[in-house]
C-alpha cells in the first residue's frame, strides 16, 4: 500500500493496523468513486492548527473588529477554561459533555450581545487569520470534478465557515454544511442561533437529525471521514447501509497524551501535519489516480 500511496510513509502518519487500512482502501477503490462520500470536520481539520509556530484562530470571530475588547477577553477566558477540558484525555465524554454545552452556550450569548451585522461577516473573514490547510484547492476541486459529495460537519459557525470557503473559491455545488447558523433579524442583526446546538460531542445527534441528506446519498455507502477530535468519529452515524469507512484523524495538540486513543479510534492518524497531503493522496487513489 505504501507503494501505491507513498504518502502513507510520511513521518506524520501513524496507523495501528496498516493491513486494515489497505483492505478498506482496496475495497473502496474497487467499489468506485461513484459510491464514495466524504464527511469532514472544519476547524483544525480543513483549517490549519498553527502557522509559523502560532496557533491559528479557532472561532475566527474571536479576534475580529465585529466584537468589542470586553467580548474578546471573555471569549478568550472561555477558551482558556474549556479548551483544556475539551482535549483532556483523563476525562470521559460524559463528564465533558455538559461543560461543552456550557462553553458553546456562553460563547453564542456573547456573540448575540455584540449585535453582529450579517453584511459585515465577509470583511471579518477577509481580515481574519483563518487558513485552510495546504492542499485545500486540490481537495475541494478534485472532489467536485469527480462529483463526490463533501459534507462539512462543524460545531463552529456555519455562516463563517461558508464565507471562508467561498473566499477561497472552493464552495462548489457538491459541498453541504451542517453547522450552527446565525439567525438575523429584519435589519440583518444577529439575534439568535438557529436550530439545535451542535457542539463537539453531539455530532451523532446532528447526523441523525439530517436523515434526508443521508437518504439522498444512500447509493454512496463508502465514506472517507476526516476529523480532529474523538467527537468527530460520530459524524457518519447517519449514513445509510454503510459498507466501508476510512477514518483519518488530525492529532494537533497534546500528542503524547492522546496518541493511543486516536490510534484506537482513527484508522490513520496524522500527527502535527498541517497539510491535506495524505487525504489528497487517498482521494486521488480512490478516484483511480485520475
Ligand atoms: N466558543 C468556542 C467554541 C468552540 N471553539 C473551538 O472550535 C472548534 C469547533 O468545532 P469543529 O467541529 O469545527 O471542530 C472546537 O474544536 C473548539 O475547540 C472555540 O474556539 N470557541
The pLDDT of residue 62 is 81
Superfamily (CATH H level) for 6-49+131-184+194-286: HAD superfamily/HAD-like (3.40.50.1000)
Instruction: List pLDDT tens digits, range 242-280.
Output: 999 999 999 999 999 999 999 999 999 999 999 999 999
59 CB near ligand 1 (under 6 Å): yes
Q: What pTM value is reported for the model? A: 0.96
Mutate to test the pocket of ligand 1, among 40, 56, 57, 59 (most ligand atoms within 8 A of CB): 59
| Active-site residue list | 41, 43
ipTM of the complex: 0.94
200 CB near ligand 1 (under 6 Å): yes
- pLDDT confidence tier of residue 209, bands split at 50, 70 and 90: confident
Per-residue H/E/C for the chain = CCCCCHHHHCCCEECCCHHHHHHHHHHHHHHCHHHEEEEECCCCCCECCEECCEECCCCCHHHCCCCCHHHHHHHHHHHHHHHHHHCCCCCCHHHHHHHHHHHHHHHHHHHHHCCCEHHHHHHHHHHCCCCECECHHHHHHHHHHCCCCEEEEEEEEHHHHHHHHHHCCCCCCCEEEEEECEEECCCCEEEEECCCCCCCCCHHHHHHHCHHHHHHCCCCCEEEEEECCHHHHHCCCCCCCCCEEEEEEEECCCHHHHHHHHHHHCCEEEECCCECHHHHHHHHHHCCCC
- pLDDT confidence tier of residue 290, bands split at 50, 70 and 90: low
83 CB near ligand 1 (under 6 Å): yes
- pLDDT confidence tier of residue 57, bands split at 50, 70 and 90: confident
164 CB near ligand 1 (under 6 Å): no
The pLDDT of residue 3 is 54
Ligand 1 centre to CA of 241 (Å) is 30
pLDDT at 2 over 60: no
> Domain locations in the chain?
6-49+131-184+194-286, 58-127
| Class at the top of the CATH hierarchy for domain 58-127 | mainly alpha
Amino acid at each position: 500500500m505504501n507503494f501505491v500511496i507513498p504518502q502513507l510513509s510520511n513521518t506524520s502518519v501513524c496507523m495501528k493496523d496498516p493491513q486494515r487500512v489497505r483492505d478498506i482502501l482496496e475495497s473502496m477503490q474497487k467499489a468506485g468513486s461513484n459510491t464514495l462520500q466524504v464527511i469532514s470536520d472544519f476547524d483544525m481539520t480543513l483549517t490549519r492548527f498553527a502557522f509559523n509556530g502560532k496557533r491559528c484562530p479557532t472561532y475566527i470571530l474571536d479576534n475580529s473588529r465585529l466584537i468589542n475588547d470586553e467580548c474578546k477577553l471573555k471569549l478568550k477566558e472561555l477558551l482558556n477554561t474549556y479548551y483544556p477540558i475539551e482535549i483532556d484525555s483523563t476525562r470521559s465524554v460524559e463528564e465533558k459533555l455538559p461543560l461543552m454545552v456550557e462553553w458553546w452556550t456562553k460563547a453564542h450569548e456573547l456573540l448575540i450581545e455584540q449585535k453582529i451585522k450579517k453584511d459585515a461577516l465577509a470583511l471579518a473573514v477577509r481580515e481574519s487569520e483563518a487558513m485552510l490547510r495546504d492542499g485545500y484547492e486540490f481537495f475541494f476541486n478534485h472532489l467536485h470534478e469527480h462529483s463526490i459529495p463533501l459534507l462539512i460537519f462543524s460545531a463552529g459557525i456555519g455562516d463563517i465557515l461558508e464565507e471562508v470557503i467561498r473566499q477561497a473559491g472552493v464552495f462548489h455545488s457538491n459541498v453541504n454544511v451542517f453547522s450552527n447558523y446565525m439567525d438575523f433579524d429584519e435589519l440583518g442583526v444577529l439575534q439568535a442561533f438557529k436550530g439545535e446546538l451542535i457542539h463537539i460531542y453531539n455530532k451523532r445527534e446532528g447526523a441523525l437529525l439530517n436523515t434526508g441528506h443521508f437518504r439522498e446519498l444512500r447509493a454512496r455507502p463508502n465514506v472517507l471521514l476526516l476529523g480532529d477530535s474523538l467527537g468527530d468519529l460520530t459524524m457518519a452515524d447517519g449514513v445509510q447501509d454503510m459498507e466501508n469507512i476510512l477514518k483519518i484523524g488530525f492529532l494537533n495538540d497534546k500528542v503524547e497524551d492522546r496518541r493511543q486513543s486516536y490510534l484506537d479510534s482513527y484508522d490513520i492518524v496524522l500527527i502535527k501535519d498541517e497539510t491535506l497531503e495524505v487525504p489528497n493522496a487517498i482521494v486521488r487513489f480512490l478516484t483511480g489516480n485520475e
